């Protein structure tokens, strides 16, 4: 029987994840409706409800905040659907100056469904399950003579992807911010693969003017078949670059936009050109917000800003695919992988999940597949991939789809902003 029609059975429910528990209970049996209560660090014993209901009701991060959602209706009124009750409060967030607000229903739903999805598909076990259906011959290729650029290639998924591309004969350009770590990565890759065609370029992806200057030099000196946009950051306090740009946006969105658009003429000269952007499944909890691209209008949350940037990357990929049909574009989610970036930017998440995270090679597998396999090139351009398969870019009922007008505004804003930093 649906939850809303049988609320008596939902008197208590505990969703435990490591040391956090979230209590769903009826405050008083005499009340006119049963309420869902969510509190961080609550502890109680309760009855079991179906997993699908748990996916809707559980939440992964509460931070002590509190919300109540009615699961029944006042007497004499037609009961609205469960979805309408869950979504009635709209989106989440806390406007500056408005004071503390509860976790709202839509945010609760998005984060809950996403987290349960992640436990099933984004961990190491999800990769192991998906890999049973991989075709090994897809990666048995020789890409000698093809030129690849990997940003953020000195560690983590970028380094793992660069290594596998070099192992198959590709000429690899590592674009890194730190020279010492770039040199170390180059040494590791050339030693492991016996491929000496690995070159480093020092570039800060949060510096738009520097990106324009780099691409002009690169176009005059090199060829390029495949661009892998992997570099990114998650800064948890609002920080501005020397150009007055919010740092996450400058690196993850504007930097990716400028590098890609500036290199498109070089890519379009080659056979089978490809652009792969390493996004994140976290973007599933975000709807494109063109009114707040630099995170000025809400209380700053680095994790959610990062997720919004990753949603922007997916939209950019879709728009590029429409505008440049001669280039194959794709974005992808590497899963929850054990990388230096995860350890430094999300230490609490890492400590709780470290025994379930994917390896760097597992996280990079789909990047490599998209970059080198013939099968990937046969897929429609502009799609979002996970474990070598195109997957939806929106959770069901999550209301994260943006209008064509907002997507056009994003691209127009990025184009106009990027031109301000282009050398004359």
Residues designated as active site: 306
In which element (H, E) is residue 278 found?
Answer: strand 274-278
Name which of 310, 331, 309 is nearest 320 in CA terms.
331
Name which of 389, 391, 329 is nearest 135 in CA terms.
389
In degrees and rounded to multiples of 5, residue 346 shows phi and psi of -130, 65
Length of the chain: 424
User: What are the angstrom distances between the C-alpha of 308 and each of 38, 237, 284, 314?
Assistant: 25, 15, 9, 10
> How crowded is residue 39: how many other Cβ atoms within 10 Å of its Cβ?
16
Contact assessment for residue 141 and residue 115, using Cβ atoms and an 8 Å cutoff:
no
Paired with 172 in beta bridges are 148, 198
Paired with 246 in beta bridges are 240
> How crowded is residue 205: how many other Cβ atoms within 10 Å of its Cβ?
26
Token pair listed for 328: 């194959």
Helices 360-372 and 156-167, interaxial angle, to 10°? 50
In which element (H, E) is residue 52 found?
Answer: helix 51-57
Burial of 365 (0-12, 13-18, 19+ CB in 10 A): buried
User: What are the angstrom distances between the C-alpha of 343 and each of 162, 336, 357?
Assistant: 21, 11, 11
């Amino acid at each position: 029987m649906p939850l809303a029609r049988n609320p008596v059975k939902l008197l208590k429910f505990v969703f435990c994840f490591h040391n956090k528990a979230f209590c769903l209970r009826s405050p008083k049996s005499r009340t006119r409706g049963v309420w869902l209560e969510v509190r961080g660090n609550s502890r109680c014993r309760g009855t079991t409800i179906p997993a699908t209901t748990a996916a809707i009701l559980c939440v992964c991060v509460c931070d002590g905040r509190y919300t109540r959602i009615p699961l029944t209706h006042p007497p004499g009124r037609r009961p609205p659907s469960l979805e309408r009750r869950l979504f009635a409060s709209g989106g989440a967030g806390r406007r500056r100056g408005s004071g503390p607000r509860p976790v709202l229903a839509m945010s609760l739903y998005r984060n809950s469904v996403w987290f349960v999805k992640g436990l099933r598909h984004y961990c190491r076990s999800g990769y192991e399950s998906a890999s049973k259906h991989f075709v090994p011959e897809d990666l048995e290729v020789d890409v000698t003579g093809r030129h690849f650029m990997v940003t953020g290639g000195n560690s983590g998924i970028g380094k793992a992807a660069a290594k596998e591309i070099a192992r198959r004969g590709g000429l690899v350009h590592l674009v890194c911010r730190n020279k010492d770590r770039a040199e170390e990565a180059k040494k590791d890759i050339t030693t492991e693969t016996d491929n000496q065609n690995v070159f480093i370029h020092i570039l800060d992806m949060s510096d738009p003017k520097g990106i324009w200057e780099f691409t002009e030099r690169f176009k005059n000196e090199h060829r390029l078949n495949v661009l892998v946009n992997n570099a990114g950051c998650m800064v948890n306090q609002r920080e501005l670059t020397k150009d007055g740009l919010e740092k996450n946006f400058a690196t993850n969105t504007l930097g990716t936009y400028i590098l890609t658009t500036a290199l498109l003429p070089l890519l379009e000269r080659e056979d089978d050109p490809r652009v792969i952007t390493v996004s994140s499944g976290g973007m599933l909890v975000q709807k494109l917000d063109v009114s707040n691209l630099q995170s000025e209008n809400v209380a700053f949350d680095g994790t959610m800003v990062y997720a919004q940037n990753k949603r922007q990357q997916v939209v950019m990929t879709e728009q590029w695919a429409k505008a440049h049909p001669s280039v194959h574009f794709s974005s992808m989610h590497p899963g929850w992988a054990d990388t230096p970036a995860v350890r430094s930017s999300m230490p609490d998440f890492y400590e709780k999940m470290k025994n379930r995270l994917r390896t760097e090679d597992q996280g990079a597998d789909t990047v490599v597949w998209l970059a080198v396999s013939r099968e990937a090139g046969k897929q429609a351009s502009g799609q979002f991939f996970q474990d070598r398969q195109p997957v939806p870019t929106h959770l069901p009922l999550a209301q994260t789809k943006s209008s064509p007008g907002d997507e056009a505004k994003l691209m127009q804003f990025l184009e106009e902003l990027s031109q301000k930093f282009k050398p004359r």
